[in-house]
């Protein structure tokens, strides 16, 4: 599905508005949209709403063998899925440019900054380490997917609890969440990315562009920072030339924004911890907004079961006897093998053919009638085998197809076909 | 099993008429979990809905009718594509089979011939799986199609039944109940005549049990359709 293209007048309107320091949603140049962070039922599931952009992150873990050159470090795996739900332009399965870009940026932001202590993920050095997998799903694309993804990923990592592991000598026991409390990951710092979009060759800049603004921007500068004012990653794309003081200004703005966002994330994690400790229900189901007109909740309802068994018995008794299914109009004579019900047999063609031939040889003349039917099957098989020979890429060099001596098949006796000879075999088969 | 029958009406006798094993259904186990639904929650898709069965929650987004690739176009109908995204990992064969079930149900109820050479895309995202996932997909799909305003000949809903080791029928099972069940069945029921549009079963069960589960699902679907009506009524209460 293609996305609707941006019209020229829309583009001109947006650029004109930006020149006059106006944004479509009334924000100021350095304002972020409203950020809302909620958590799912299980540990490591986090939803982030950045205005209308919605993103979900899920963290999971698995025990695997470590990399050869890093035997005592755990592995982090990031995957950003641009779900086709987020935008009609996203297609399932295809690695688009945007998807590659976002994946790389998230990896650099989280993995290369070493925000997670990977050595603590080691269980048995050289044999078993934890692989932490972060899947980020885009649910709605209204601009600035990178920031939303980075907030969701780092919050989900902070929220995640991995199963506890006990080591006694050579034995390693992984305890389930019911046996022992799962333990959180050790996170050194929280890198959060802030995006700046540039217009008119770097003259105007906007923080947190929405989808329309992203379409008309010239270039994007992404700065990933943590609250200690350490830059974890910087990426400038779009080919715009930025002056040094512009970059410095952006990093100052970024540090302010990052500290605000980090505070928000901290509060959300605290709230969630409190709710879970109090034993309350938590998760997406709870966060369904009740006061909205488009949302409705219904309590647990029992289902009437009064006449169920009567109705069921009625139906079963009224139903007629199931018709005797006739397998195939051809009744195989004892001693004749047949695979399938008269359809084209596409497995083990060579062996089948030989088996049938042996049996037909054994049964002899009794089967004149049967042989004609068998011949028909064989014709089909031949055709299909002809097809198979043509298109298959089997390793077998030579496929020898033998046919019993029958008047109709005089032409086709004992030809051999192999990959190279496919053309000649085809000729031989033409009837 | 006789003792467990909750209703004490004179109907008790006829229940044990015919031969065979008769499973009396304990009505305390036969209930639907808490439902929740929100429509129009995403701004990009033409129709979107989230559906919740207890803890199982699913998002659905619909795009359409839109342009279709020439390789996929059908000359007299719309091409419906269903995509199911699991929470962790890439979609596998299980998702493909669930997609097929949902697609067949939708094709049976959507009026596809009103939009020839167009594409309808339905995307379902798992948010949390705590049992009855396929019926949650079906319910979310129906609400999203309603939200998108696509013409349908009937509404549909999904109901999951499980038969546990004792032979009791449980509707809307949780993941723990599903794991211990002997058979698991999901039915898509239509709104006009309560017919079964699609069935997907796993495990072993008798013909009698199957018919009982279908009857239970049909009764349960009444509640779900009433919930649909209430949601839509609430939504349009301010405008109509």
Contacts of A408 (CB under 8 A, 6+ apart): A375
- Least confident interval from A266-275, A365-374, B13-22: B13-22
Phi/psi-derived region of residue A9, left when phi > 0, alpha when psi is between -120 and 50, beta in every other case: alpha
- The predicted-structure confidence for A348-388, as pLDDT tens digits, reads as follows 655 544 444 444 444 444 444 444 445 444 444 444 444 44
Chain pair A-B, CB pairs under 8 angstroms = 185
- Least confident interval from A96-100, A174-178, A325-329, B154-158: A325-329
Sorted by where each starts, the structural domains of chain B and their CATH numbers stand as: 31-239 (3.30.230.70)
The partner residues of A61 in beta bridges, in order of sequence, read: A132
Q: What is the chain B residue with the closest CA to A134?
A: B88
As a whole-number percent, the residues of chain A with pLDDT over 70 amount to 71
Distances (CA, A) of B43 to A99, A333, B39, B47: 21, 67, 11, 9
Specify the pLDDT at position A375.
47
Mean pLDDT computed over B69-89: 93
Contacts of B39 (CB under 8 A, 6+ apart): A294, A295, B47, B48, B49, B143, B144, B146, B147, B231, B235
> Is pLDDT above 50 for A293?
yes
CA A409 to chain centre: 53
User: What are the chain A neighbours of B87 within 8 Å (beta carbons)?
Assistant: 45, 58, 135, 137
* Cross-chain residue pair A296–B50, CB shorter than 8 Å: no
* CB of A77 less than 8 A from some CB of B: no
- The token duo for A326 is 């006739």
- The token duo for A84 is 């086709």
Question: Reading across the β-sheet that carries A295-298, which strands appear in turn?
Answer: A295-298, B35-39, B47-53, B56-66, B119-128, B79-85
Q: Pick from A42, A283, A302: which is nearest to B27 by CB?
A: A302
* Alpha-carbon gap: A47 to the closest alpha carbon of chain B (Å): 10
Q: What angle do CA A80, A82, A88 make, to 5 degrees?
A: 170
- The predicted-structure confidence for A141-195, as pLDDT tens digits, reads as follows 999 999 999 999 999 999 999 999 988 888 888 888 888 889 999 999 999 999 9
CB-facing half-sphere around the CA of A283: CA atoms within 13 A: 19
pTM of the model: 0.78
Distance in angstroms (rounded) separating the CA atoms of residues B123 and A164? 36
Query: Is residue B84 within 8 Å of residue B99, measured between CB atoms?
Result: yes
Specify the pLDDT at position A325.
66
Place B25 in a pLDDT band, splitting at 50, 70 and 90. Answer: very low
Q: Pick from B28, B123, B214: which is nearest to A85 by CB?
A: B123
Place A2 in a pLDDT band, splitting at 50, 70 and 90. Answer: confident
Specify the pLDDT at position B119.
94
Q: In B192-210, which positions are buried (b, 16+ CB within 10 angstroms) versus exposed (e)? A: eeeeebbebeeeebeebbb
> Is pLDDT above 90 for A323?
no
Query: Is residue A153 within 8 Å of residue A136, measured between CB atoms?
Result: yes
Query: Is residue A429 within 8 Å of residue A380, measured between CB atoms?
Result: no
User: What are the chain B neighbours of A140 within 8 Å (beta carbons)?
Assistant: 42-45
* Cross-chain residue pair B36–A295, CB shorter than 8 Å: yes
* Cross-chain residue pair A285–B54, CB shorter than 8 Å: yes
- Least confident interval from A319-323, B68-72, B73-77: A319-323
């Amino acid at each position: 599905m293609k996305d609707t293209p941006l019209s020229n007048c829309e583009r001109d309107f947006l650029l004109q508005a930006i020149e006059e320091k106006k944004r479509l949603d009334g924000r100021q140049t350095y304002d972020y949209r409203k950020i809302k962070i909620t958590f799912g039922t299980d540990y490591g599931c986090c939803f982030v709403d950045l205005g209308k952009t919605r993103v979900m992150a899920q963290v999971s873990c698995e025990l695997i063998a470590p990399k050869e050159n890093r035997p005592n470090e755990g592995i982090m795996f990031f995957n950003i899925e641009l779900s086709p739900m987020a935008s009609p332009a996203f297609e399932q399965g295809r690695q688009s440019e945007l998807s590659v870009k976002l994946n790389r940026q998230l990896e650099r932001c989280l993995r290369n900054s070493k925000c997670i202590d990977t050595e603590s993920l080691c269980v048995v050095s050289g044999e078993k380490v934890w692989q932490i997998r972060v899947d980020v799903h885009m649910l709605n694309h209204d601009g600035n997917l990178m920031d939303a993804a980075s907030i969701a990923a780092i919050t989900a990592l902070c929220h995640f609890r991995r199963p506890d592991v006990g080591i006694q000598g050579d034995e390693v026991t992984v305890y389930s969440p019911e046996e022992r409390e799962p333990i959180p990951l050790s996170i050194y710092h929280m890198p959060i990315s802030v995006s700046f979009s540039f217009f008119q060759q770097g003259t105007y800049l906007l923080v947190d562009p929405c989808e329309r603004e992203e379409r008309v921007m010239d270039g994007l500068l992404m700065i990933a920072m943590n609250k200690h004012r350490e830059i974890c990653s910087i990426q400038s794309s779009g080919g715009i030339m930025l002056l040094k003081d512009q970059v410095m200004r952006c990093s100052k703005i970024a540090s302010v924004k990052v500290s605000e966002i980090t505070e928000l994330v901290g509060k959300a994690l605290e709230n969630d911890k409190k709710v879970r400790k109090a034993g309350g229900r938590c998760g997406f189901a709870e966060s369904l907004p009740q006061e909205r007109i488009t949302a409705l909740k219904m309590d647990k309802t029992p289902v009437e079961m009064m006449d169920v068994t009567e109705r069921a018995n009625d139906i079963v008794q009224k139903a007629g006897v199931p018709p005797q299914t006739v397998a195939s109009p051809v009744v195989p004579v004892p001693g004749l093998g047949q695979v399938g019900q008269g359809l084209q047999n596409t497995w083990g063609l060579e062996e089948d053919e030989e088996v049938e031939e042996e049996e037909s040889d054994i049964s002899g003349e009794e089967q004149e009638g049967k042989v004609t039917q068998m011949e028909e099957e064989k014709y089909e098989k031949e055709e299909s085998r002809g097809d198979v020979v043509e298109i298959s890429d089997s390793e077998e060099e030579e496929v020898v197809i033998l046919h019993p001596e029958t008047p109709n098949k005089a032409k086709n006796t004992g030809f051999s076909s192999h990959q190279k000879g496919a053309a000649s075999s085809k000729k031989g088969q033409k009837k | 099993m006789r003792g467990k029958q909750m209703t004490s009406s004179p109907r008790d006798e006829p229940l044990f008429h015919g031969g065979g094993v008769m499973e009396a259904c304990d009505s305390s186990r036969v209930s639907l979990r808490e439902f929740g639904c929100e429509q129009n929650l995403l701004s990009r898709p033409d129709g979107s809905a989230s559906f919740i069965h207890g803890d199982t929650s699913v998002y659905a987004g619909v795009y359409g009718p839109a342009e279709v690739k020439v390789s996929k176009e059908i000359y007299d109908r719309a091409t419906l594509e269903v995509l199911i995204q699991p929470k962790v990992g890439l979609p596998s064969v299980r998702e493909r089979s669930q997609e097929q079930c949902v697609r067949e149900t939708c094709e049976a109820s959507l009026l596809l011939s009103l939009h020839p050479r167009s594409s309808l895309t339905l995307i379902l995202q798992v948010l949390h799986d705590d049992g009855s996932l396929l019926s949650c997909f079906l319910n979310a799909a129906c609400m999203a199609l309603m939200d998108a305003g696509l013409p349908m000949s009937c509404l549909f809903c999904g109901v999951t039944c499980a038969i546990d080791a004792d032979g009791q029928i449980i509707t809307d099972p949780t993941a723990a109940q599903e794991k211990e069940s002997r058979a698991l069945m999901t039915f898509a029921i239509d709104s006009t005549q309560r017919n079964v549009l699609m069935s997907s079963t796993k495990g072993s069960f008798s013909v009698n049990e199957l018919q009982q589960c279908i009857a239970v699902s049909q009764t349960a679907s009444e509640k779900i359709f009433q919930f649909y009506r209430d949601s839509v009524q609430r939504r349009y209460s301010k405008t109509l």
